[in-house]
Amino acid sequence: MNQDIKTLIQSMPKAELHVHLEGSTQPETVLELAQRHNKLDSLPADDVAGIQQWFTFTDFPHFLEVYLSIQDLIRTPHDVELITYRFGEDMARQNIRYREATVTPYIHIHEQEKGLAIEDLLDGLEAGRQRAKKDFGVEIRWVFDISRQSSFIHSEGVYDPEPADITLAYALMGRDKGVVALGLGGYEVGTPPEHFAHAFECIHQNGLLSVPHAGETGGAESVWGAVQALDADRIGHGVRAVEDPDLLEHLKEKQIPLEVNLTSNLCLHVFPDLVSHSFLQMDKMGLMLTLGSDDPPLFSTDLLREYTILADVYGYGAEEILRVARNGFLAAGVEADVKTSLLQEFDAFASSYLG
């Protein structure tokens, strides 16, 4: 990668639509939270190097184990504010102007015994994002996602609608504190999108986007389910749509954005290597693709590195990189006036850079 492209990737304004707040917690903060709550014994290591090693996954269930352990350390509104503020600080480092961060409220409030209420969670998120906006000039919005694993009793294969209904209620409560979408996350195998249609039925009527994960650990049928049953405005991942040519044509025709996370897909063995990844094929076909880092410290990546892959592996030049970057702003669920301002900033940068 030449120096000009490296400078472009660092300096261009960026939007990131697929990144998890809890999964963005750095090892230093994990240790700080564990010390704060006298829970160092719950971790496999007591130093940064050891925590980073713990983040090296073997499979998706291992990933969920680590992720839930991090969530358990977030126990007060002050903790939520801390991780949100540092999330914003990280945005400034990478010149990410806008992020939609996924948060899973049901697990914090109903599955982990820590006395955190939805009001506490919303207050912490709001305090952190407002401080980050004041100190770093960044815009943060929230995707409240339904946990697939919370919704199924796997030993019995029974679906429980309550976690989805509660998460929907929480998302609607948070609209005036930055919640812009309802998501659906977790392990797709055995948890098809169709089960969750009841929670997504009223999303658009209430001004929220439908942004389920699909086509990561599940195949093309999972993406079809998200599109048809959940009326998805965007798809988290969606990379296994490549398994169905008809689905690819549908996504292209409707220009439904896919939130692609290259390094995450490798770490979780969705693809064996970057050359085999479906990004290049889908982009050449004309699908609308955005880039995200998913859970950056857990995958030893960040958004800068994801864009670097476009240049180093796929040979993208400045115009192609800027095109993908602009998609992130176009697909954002932020209020219209903020989106217009962000797009104007990006277009002015791109115009100046390309001359």
Q: In this structure, what CATH number is given to the domain that contains residue 261?
A: 3.20.20.140
Q: Is residue 54 part of a domain?
A: no
Predicted TM-score (pTM) of the model is 0.95
pLDDT tier at 31, thresholds 50, 70, 90: very high
Q: Is residue 38 part of a domain?
A: no
What pLDDT digit, counting tens, does each position of 66-77 carry?
Answer: 888 999 999 999
What pLDDT digit, counting tens, does each position of 18-29 carry?
Answer: 999 999 999 999
Is the CB of residue 321 less than 8 Å from the CB of residue 311?
A: yes
Q: Is residue 169 part of a domain?
A: yes
In terms of C-beta distances under 8 Å and separation of at least 24 residues, what long-range contacts does 39-45 make, across chains too? 39/72, 39/73, 42/69, 42/72, 42/73, 43/69
What pLDDT digit, counting tens, does each position of 238-289 carry?
Answer: 999 999 999 999 999 999 999 999 999 999 899 999 999 999 999 999 999 9
Q: Is residue 65 part of a domain?
A: no
Find the domain containing 193 and state its range.
3-27+74-354
Number of domains into which the chain is organized? 1
Phi, psi angle pair for 156, to nearest 5°:
-115, -10
pLDDT tier at 36, thresholds 50, 70, 90: very high
Q: Is residue 83 part of a domain?
A: yes
Q: Is residue 34 part of a domain?
A: no
Q: Is residue 57 part of a domain?
A: no
Q: Is residue 42 part of a domain?
A: no
Catalytic residue among 216, 221, 259, 306: 216
Q: What is the 3-state secondary structure (H, E, C) of 290-333?
A: EECCECHHHHCCCHHHHHHHHHHCCCCCHHHHHHHHHHHHHCCC
Joined together, the tokens standing for residue 315 give 């040979």
- Annotated active-site residue 216? The verdict is yes
What is residue 20's predicted lDDT score, i.e. its pLDDT? 97
